[in-house]
Amino acid sequence: MLFKSHRRASLRARPLPEAWRAIMAANVPYVATMSPEDRTELEGHVQVFLAEKKFEGCGGLELTDEIRVTIASQACLLLLHRETDYFPDLDVILVYPHAYVAKTSAYFAGGISVADQQARLGQSAAGVVVLAWDAVRRGATDVHDGHNVTLHEFAHQLDQEDGAADGAPVLETRAMYTAWAHVLGDEFAHLVDDVDKHRRTDIDAYGATNPAEFFAVVTEMFFERPEPLRRRHPQLYEQLALFYRQDPAARV
């Protein structure tokens, strides 16, 4: 553990290669809204992330520094100002050029199982994140649309660090869990009710799927549409700001 800490500190202290910095500037415009101190911290996290995480190209995609740096820059945004072990359960990031087809199975009473195939832009599971590169670039380029597949899937990784995909990442105190459950539970229930009754929602309706998807969806909104989130859902914004230790609405 001590060796890991020293190695990571050494990596964070290295100057970011100028070619990588140029990729961040071109592909992740969100970085331009950050303070110099936050950009320096982000660059350090990117160095560690790229040194420790394995990337694999799928579907004929040839991996490049552009792909790796663009993904790492967004994933590490979730780590700023926090004690972190750099997504400890994550081993590999699989990157497809476009939407890919994932096989799914559903089980019903009587032992009946039904297999299906779904086109996906991203997925998070134990040890792996899967992303479609065109969706990654699209999500990074438009920093105000509230949709970012990289933030979404890496929020799932944070959620899953305690072994359960339940919409509650690892928090620091028991009191934080109580407030988190109350606020996010109420907001999730309201979203489900709005979707069921076909009312328009400012939070993406996909968040009504389950609490895990709700956390991932509101993470996207927290970073990309922070002002509407703070104005219309102040308690939800406050909980996310406490967890992420960031106030993106103040940067807009």
Residue partners of 156: CB distance under 8 A and separation at least 6: 124, 129, 165, 212, 216
Which helix (H) or strand (E) segment holds residue 132: the answer is strand 128-132
The CA distances from residue 64 to 55, 61, 80, in Å, are 10, 9, 25
Q: What is the pTM of this model?
A: 0.92
Residue 5 tokens, joined? 């800490």
Q: Rg for the chain (alpha carbons), in Å?
A: 18
Q: Which two tokens stand for residue 98?
A: 């476009």
Cα–Cα dist 203/55, whole Å: 31
SS3 of 151-195: the string is HHHHHHHHHHHHCCCCCCCCCCCHHHHHHHHHHHHHHHHHHHHHH
Residue pLDDT tens, the chain, 252 long: 788 999 999 999 999 999 999 999 999 999 999 999 999 999 999 999 999 999 999 999 999 999 999 999 999 999 999 989 999 999 999 999 999 887 654 444 455 544 456 778 899 998 999 999 999 999 999 988 999 999 999 999 999 999 999 999 999 999 999 999 999 999 999 999 999 999 999 999 999 999 999 999 999 999 999 999 999 999 999 999 999 999 999 986
SS3 113: strand
Q: What is the Cα–Cα distance from 173 to 243, expressed in whole angstroms?
A: 11
Record: fold of 166-252: Collagenase (Catalytic Domain) (3.40.390)
111 burial (CB, 10 Å; 0-12 / 13-18 / 19+) is exposed
Instruction: Say how far apart CA 90 and CA 239 lie, in whole Å.
Output: 25
